[in-house]
Structure 1
Amino acid sequence: MADSPQEFLEPNASATGNWISIGHPAVAEICSRGFDFVVIDLEHTATSLETLENMLRAVHDEVAPIVRVPANDSVTMKRVLDLGAAGLMIPRVETRKQAVEAVDAMRYPPHGERGVAPARASDYGRTFGEYYRSADDELTTIVQIETERGAENAEEIVAVDGIDGIIVGHGDLSASLGVFGQWESERFESTLDSILATAHAEGTPVGMLATDDESIQRWTDAGVDFLLAGADISYLASGSNAAREQFEALTDE
């Protein structure tokens, strides 16, 4: 498991994360155990900042809690960082300008535009001086490339100083390419290969989300550097279905 927030993005780390969509501290506590990092999703969920704060408290100490914010918005990003996230994932980054804006929102002046104030991230101000000095280097900035435009501009995006890694949003990317869910289509495969090659040429690690054994194998074979190997809602749905189907099979005999 990672000893520091960015360690899971180091070369050859082969880090494994877990995706969390259900807004409850118990889910964060259960689903973070044993992983290098987790991603708590705020983009497609109803999770509030108050709930997020308690989820961050529940994530095991040795696990890096990354939060996917709803948008590339400096105000939201500032508030999430102040709660103590180890880093942020910024969705739908399509241009160099947007990547620069994301990095600026992550960094304190004079290197960025993040607002300065004591909060949970600095033990409510007790360690704010130390946090201010170290945050720019220690926080993890991950951007998502998930559109055809983003893929076309991948070289400019990954070249931005301060981008620590990218995650390919394969669902949105396939939809943008007009081949939704067709992972073996030439259009999707060639675009994914291009993103991976571009990022690796810059020394930028690439991650993806896998929700079952087949996709874990598929994205590993594709050459990703770190993997979100499952999601809470997938575990819950598959476990529920399996239990029901087992009972129905026995009662139908």
Structure 2
Amino acid sequence: MILKSRGEIDAMREAGRVVGTILAALRDATKPGVSTGELDALAAELIAANKVKSAFKGYAPGGRRPYPGVLCTSINEEIVHGIPSKKRILREGDIIGLDFGVVKDGWFADSAITVPVGTTAEDAARLVETTRRSLELGIEQARVGNRIYDIGAAIQAHAEGFGYGVTRDFVGHGVGRRLHEEPQVPNYGPGGQGIRIKTGMVLAIEPMINAGSWEVEELDDDWTAVTADRRLSAHFEHTIAVTEEGPIILTLP
């Protein structure tokens, strides 16, 4: 676990601003009839325009085949790591998770949003809003002296209060000179356990909440994770820094 100085956090904030700004542009471009490949191409153009590098393209942890895009596009029952394609066309009523990261001056930042495509059904909108709020509640627990599972306990309590399932197979993580650093940040409890949260931690907190079961399956493309019951899933993420004054979100536009 690598604690960051104020100067290093400021540098990571610059990377985070680029991530937040590009995600906002991608959100605005997400409409019925647009392909996920087009969204990935737009993200690549904006990466070049901002003179940063993709955090995702070519990433190959644990012997996986290298990830082919700069953006993860996970539609409906896809939880995370959906691969963009010109053949995947968004339809009215879909929800899509956009997971995106960059490297700027050697520092990584990582964030995700779930976007409704056109007008969505009430149950889909409720899932998206609950997941977004779960992230907020998790971030509130990222305070000096708390324990790492306090973050997940807050996320879990809110999501399960609506009858949703909290994905266990994927967790948040530390961020810094690498995309994934220690510690892992689970999206479930129990609170009061795990390592103490310290000043200088930089964490990617990312609840993935399912309309049904928490259980996951992986598709044959070696990346895309889907809900085992094929019900909807939503995903939100911010990179945050822990300071004496409280958590600071680094991935805002």
Q: Shorter-chain-normalised TM-score: which range?
A: under 0.3
Q: Which has the higher helix share?
A: 1
- Give the TM-score of the pair, scaled to structure 2: 0.27
Q: Which has the larger radius of gyration?
A: 1
Higher RCO (CA 8 Å, separation ≥ 6 residues): 2
